[in-house]
Structures are given as structure tokens and as C-alpha cells.
Structure 1
Amino acid sequence: MTHEILGLMSGTSLDGLDLAFCHIWQTGTDYNFKIKETKSVSYDPEMSTKLRDSIFLPAEELLGFHNSYGVWLGEQCRIFIDEHGLNVECIASHGHTTHHRPEMGLTFQIGSGQHLANASGHKVVCDFRTNDIALGGQGAPLVPIGDALFFSEYDFCLNLGGIANVSFDKDGQRIAYDIGLANMVLNHITRKNGLDYDEGGKLARSGNLIPNILKELNDLEYYRLPYPKSTGYEWFVEKVVPLIDAADDRMENLLHTCIHHICEQISVQVKVNSRKRENSLLVTGGGALNHFLIQTLQKKLGTGTRVVAPDQKLIEFKEALVFALMGMLRLQGETNVLHSVTGAKRDSSSGVLYLPN
């Protein structure tokens, strides 16, 4: 049986909303997929700013935004479904993370499931993180279930969104965690200079290394913490933004330095977890389109690890695809969050179901 699921993803890089209409089916124990239709909806400046600053909203305003953003998500789904005449079994929505403090037992993704369901007219599964947090886990990363079921032929799966996270098999279990910075810091630097992003890493390539900034970034305490671990916007605002904003240097040099930092931290984690002489590393997420970043990463990893960037559709929509998978697994009552990844007491079938009214 083929399941037809619409997956939604909005990440910490604040690029916009990704929609991926996916066909997912099982052949024996193997899971298969085809991404049939896709769309990216860019956030206008007002929405981008409100999402970025939502961490600072009072409770009443945050909950109001939670509801209105859910309506907006539902409207975007309805438009997308109507444009392509899609037969959608379910919408699986990640929402947009505003608060993530697993050490306090807290995580919150705005985009009310009930408002989304009502506005779209379709069944919705969302809120994938809360149950894992309640089970003592990090509530993140979530994408490794997709890495395990869809991309097991690769030794490592790396996602370069706002945050860089990695996934791999170790001793028969899937392990994954947030390595640290990725597009979040790069986009912060470019937006301060009136640009949405550094296309292809061209600006970064033209820059020079700032040794003291590289050292300060590499010395951040988060990188010394053991996994399971995850991080988010709070850490970025508290620990990284002051460091970057205090740097009196050119945008190109800051971008160049941050890319070297990102790639150094990734290469450390890949090398320490390598079990073979030759490895393959699948790279997806917006950072995979940053050619300077990918070239720098390959240099730092050396010949022992081959960096693989797939076709652009998979690069851009892998996370939306995986949330479609997670929604399907939740509907079937099957495991979609792995305790080996999050540190929870057990695996779970997470996500809350909402029906349209």
C-alpha cells in the first residue's frame, strides 16, 4: 500500500516553509519513497522577524501566534493541494521551533495542529517532540528515523540546516545528535548586511580566516558535551550572537571563518565515529548548496570520507520527506522516534493527531 502524505518543515535558518507531497511504501522490510510535488514558500520580512523573535514573546502573544501560524500553514497547504490536485491522506507538520530546552523538560513548536487541520480541511499529525521530552529524551534530532529507513547505505547522514546534525549506526543502534552551528550563523551575518544568504558561498570564499574568532567558536562549551545532545536558537542567541556581533571585521571574513569552524566541528565528529577506512557522508539541507562549505568539508575530512550531495530536490526537501514518513508511522502506531538518538527511556510513536472541523 502506498501512503500519500504531505510533509511540512520550517527550520531554524528561517528560509521559509518547505512542502513535500510524498508517496511512501514498504516492500518487505524496506521503506521506499518518491517525492512527487514540492514547494518552498519564502517568509516575508515581517514573518521572518516574528518567527526569529518569537522566543521573546509574552505567553499570551506566543500562543496567539501559535494559532495564527497554524492557520497560515493550513492555508499554504490548501493552496498547494489545490494547485496540483493532490489526494492527501494526511499532513505531517514539524511546526516551527520557538523554544527548545530539553534540560528543563521543555520544547515548543508553533503551528497549532487544530488550526492547521481546520484551515486545510485535512487530517494533521504534528507535535512530534513533546512525547520524547516527556520520556526523558532530548526531543531531537528527529530526522534519523528517516536516515535509518531510507538512507542506510550511507555511513553518515549530515543535515545542514540552521543547525548541523549527524546520524550514523553504532553497535547496531542509530546514533544522532546536533553537532552545532550551520546556516543559522551564516544567515545571521548576511542579514546584518542586508542579504538573505551567501549564494553558493561566494562571499565566504573571497574572505580570509580570523584566527581568534575561529578559536572562540571552537572553544564553545557545547562542543565538549557528550551525546545525546541537541541545541537551538536559545544557545545561538546566548553564546554565539554576542561573539559574532562583537567582531569588528568584514562580512566575507566572518563567513569564511564560520565555514571553517562548521567544517572543523563536523570533521571531528565524523572522524571520531568512523569505523572503516573509507566512508560515505550524505549531505542534505540548505548548507549542501553552499559549494565553498562542501569543498572545505571535503578537504578537512580528507580522502577517507567521500562527501555525497544528492539531487537538489532531496537536498532541499529531505526533512519535509522525513516528517511525512514520521506522520505515516504515527498513523500506523509504529516507532518514529528512536531512544538511541534522543536518550529517552524507550522508542516511541510520537505525534498528536488532529481532525478537521
Structure 2
Amino acid sequence: MMYQVIGLMSGTSLDGLDLCFVRFQKNEKWQFEILQAETIPYPIDWEEKLRNSILLSSEELLEFHSEYGFYLGKQVNAFIQKYQLENVDFIASHGHTVFHNPKKKYTFQLGDGMALKATTGIPVIYDFRSQDVILGGNGAPLVPIGDELLFKEYSACLNLGGFSNISMKKEGKRIAFDICPVNIMLNRFAAELGKKYDENGLLARNGIVDAELLSFLNALDFYSQGPPKSLGIEWVIKEINPIILNRKPEDLLATFTEHAAVQISKVFNTYALKNVLVSGGGTFNSYLMEKVQRKTQTEIIIPDEKIIHFKEALIFAFMGMLRTRNEINVLASATGSIKDHSSGINA
């Protein structure tokens, strides 16, 4: 059986909307081919609206949820037209996370799947996280199912997006967890210096690591917790925002780059990982990658650019495909839910 799916992903770092058109086919195991992929940067007004969506009233949030769903639909239509795509079986949309609090049993991703379907006329699978939270899980990370079935040959898979997260096999089970903030902070500090992001870590290289702040960051309670565990914007607001006031952005870039390198390499070393496949926007931050490699003997594997850029969108397309087959697409060993399950709403 063959499936052709468009996967949509919008990360917390607000780099843009990832669209990935993938063909899946199963012989002895699942195989994939990325046929077309593109990142559409958010216009400044949309970036601001998404960044500030956490501040909206309940009515404004519902309105924006619908508005963003229609926006996604327009982007998909333009993507299909631009590349003359045919035989799209369905769309799998992650949406854009606004609220995520598993302890209180809620998570919310912007982008109404009904609006997306109405705009494109294509079936949509969306809201992949809510069911896991209701089942006692963290609602994250979800990509381990793809790591398990599509990238099994590596000791672990590391994603460097808004937050870094990792998945690996331990005692026969796939475990996964968030490690630390990465681009959600680095892009923010780069913006203060008039840049979209810190290209190759050049800004961080010119900053000075604040030893006191670094020590405080590394001592945060989250890092002493065992997996499964996940991070969200609320954690940044509560734990990090109060301690970074009145500091130079270049020094914050240097400090948070070092902090990320410390936490990521610590995980590599703790689990004695032989090799790790790295993806996500942070992979292009050569300064961060150098710092991580200096602190570990683990072999860091950089795949081709399509995988680096679009692995998450690819895996959400894969999750949507599994959902249409009513097959497991969320692993309890990764999220902490009471059971493996098939998650996602069909629109």
C-alpha cells in the first residue's frame, strides 16, 4: 500500500511553517521518500500574532484558532499549486502549540483542522497531542514512533528545534524526552540584535559566558528529573524569563549555547550513545555543534538537508498515515501515557 501525505509543522522557535510532501510504502518495513518540501517564513505580523497568542482572551484565542486554520489551508493550496502536486491522500497537521500543561491534563495547538480541510478539500488529521495528555502522558515527544520505524539504525535521534529532544532505545523500549531550550531562546536573543537567528553561532562566539547564570540554568529542577519529561513555553516564562533581565543579548547567546551543549552532551554521555542522528534548525549552528562534540565521544551524524529541515513534518505525516490505518502512532514508553495508542482527530 502506498500513501502520499502532506505533513505540516510549526515549531515553538517560529522559524516558519514546514510543509513536506512524502510518499510512504511498506514492504518488509516502512520506507519513505520526500517528494517536495518547503519552509514558508512567517510574515512579521503572523510571527507576532503567534508569539503573543498565549496572551489572548478565550474568545480571541478561538477566533485565532480558526483564522490560523484557514491560513494553513491557503499555504497548502499554494504549495500544491507551486509544485503541481497530485494524488494527495490527506494532510497531517501538528498545528502551533500555545498551551501545554500535561499535569493539568491540557495541551492546545492552534490551527483548526476543519478550517484546513474546508480550504483545501483534502482530508486532515490533526490534534495529535490531546489524547496522550488525557491518557496520563506528557503529550510529547511524539516523533519517537518515526524514529523507531524509519530511523532505527541510529543509537538515538536528536532534534534541535525550539527545544532539544532525543529518542533512543533503552532495555528494548523506545524512550524519549525533552533536554533543554535551544532556538526558542537563541532566536529571541538574536532578534534583539536585529537578526532572525544566530547564523553559525557567530553572535554567540562574540559574547561572554555568564558563569553565574550558567550555573543557575544547569541547576534548574527540570534537569534532575528522569524521563519522560517535556518542556513548554510556560516553563520558559516561569523559570527563565525572571533570571535573564538586564543582560547583553550576545552574552545571553553565549551562555545559552554553552548551556545547551552541557545538557545535550550530558545526555549523550549518561546513556553511552554510540551515534546520534541530528536534525532541526539548530543543526546548522556550527558553534553549538562544535561545543557538543568537544564534550562527548558520541559520533554526531548530520543527514542530508531535507532530513535536517523536515524530519518533524515528515514524522507527523507518518503519524497521520498510521492514524488512518488505526495503528499505534504514540509510544507510552516515550510520553508516559498509560498505553500505546493511535492519536489524532480526523476532519
What's the TM-score once normalised by structure 1's chain length?
A: 0.95
Q: What are the within-5 Å matches in structure 2 for residues 20-169 of structure 1?
A: 20-28=20-28, 30-86=29-85, 87-169=87-169
Q: Which amino acid counterpart does residue 332 of structure 2 have in structure 1?
A: H
Instruction: Please tell me whether residue 264 in structure 1 is matched to residue 262 in structure 2.
Output: yes
Q: Which amino acid counterpart does residue 292 of structure 1 have in structure 2?
A: Y
- What is the CA–CA distance in structure 2 between the aligned matches of 1:22 and 1:280, rounded to whole Å? 26
Q: What are the within-5 Å matches in structure 2 for residues 333-352 of structure 1?
A: 333-352=326-345
Choose the corresponding residue for 2:316, options 313, 320, 323.
323
- What is the CA–CA distance in structure 1 between the aligned matches of 2:258 and 2:295, rounded to whole Å? 9
- What is the CA–CA distance in structure 2 between the aligned matches of 1:90 and 1:64, rounded to whole Å? 25
Name stretches of at least 5 consecutive residues in structure 2 with no aligned partner: none
Q: Are the counterparts in 1 of residues 189 and 250 from structure 2 also a CA contact under 8 Å?
A: no
Secondary structure of the residue that 2:114 maps to in structure 1? helix
- What is the CA–CA distance in structure 2 between the aligned matches of 1:334 and 1:247, rounded to whole Å? 50
Secondary structure of the residue that 2:200 maps to in structure 1? helix
- What is the CA–CA distance in structure 2 between the aligned matches of 1:313 and 1:208, rounded to whole Å? 33
Q: Which amino acid counterpart does residue 6 of structure 1 have in structure 2?
A: I
Instruction: Please tell me whether residue 308 in structure 1 is matched to residue 301 in structure 2.
Output: yes
- What is the CA–CA distance in structure 2 between the aligned matches of 1:192 and 1:101, rounded to whole Å? 28
- What is the CA–CA distance in structure 2 between the aligned matches of 1:143 and 1:45, rounded to whole Å? 29
Q: What are the within-5 Å matches in structure 2 for residues 178-217 of structure 1?
A: 178-217=178-217
- What is the CA–CA distance in structure 2 between the aligned matches of 1:351 and 1:317, rounded to whole Å? 20
Deviation string for 1:216-270 (max 9, x for gaps)? 11111111122111111111122112222x2433x32221111110011111112
- What is the CA–CA distance in structure 2 between the aligned matches of 1:225 and 1:120, rounded to whole Å? 43
Q: Which amino acid counterpart does residue 17 of structure 2 have in structure 1?
A: L
- What is the CA–CA distance in structure 2 between the aligned matches of 1:188 and 1:216, rounded to whole Å? 20
Secondary structure of the residue that 1:264 maps to in structure 2? helix
- What is the CA–CA distance in structure 1 between the aligned matches of 2:92 and 2:207, rounded to whole Å? 41
- What is the CA–CA distance in structure 1 between the aligned matches of 2:73 and 2:247, rounded to whole Å? 43
Aligned length: 346
Secondary structure of the residue that 1:230 maps to in structure 2? coil
Q: Are the counterparts in 1 of residues 93 and 124 from structure 2 also a CA contact under 8 Å?
A: yes
Q: Which amino acid counterpart does residue 220 of structure 1 have in structure 2?
A: L
Choose the corresponding residue for 2:284, options 282, 289, 306.
289
Supply the RMSD in Å over aligned alpha carbons: 1.1
- What is the CA–CA distance in structure 2 between the aligned matches of 1:272 and 1:52, rounded to whole Å? 34
- What is the CA–CA distance in structure 2 between the aligned matches of 1:142 and 1:8, rounded to whole Å? 14
Q: Which amino acid counterpart does residue 287 of structure 1 have in structure 2?
A: G
Q: Which amino acid counterpart does residue 313 of structure 2 have in structure 1?
A: A
- What is the CA–CA distance in structure 1 between the aligned matches of 2:56 and 2:250, rounded to whole Å? 33
- Segments ≥4 residues shifted beyond 3 Å: none
Segment of structure 1 superposing worse, 110-119 or 305-314? 305-314
Name stretches of at least 5 consecutive residues in structure 1 with no aligned partner: none
- What is the CA–CA distance in structure 1 between the aligned matches of 2:246 and 2:261, rounded to whole Å? 20
Secondary structure of the residue that 2:212 maps to in structure 1? helix
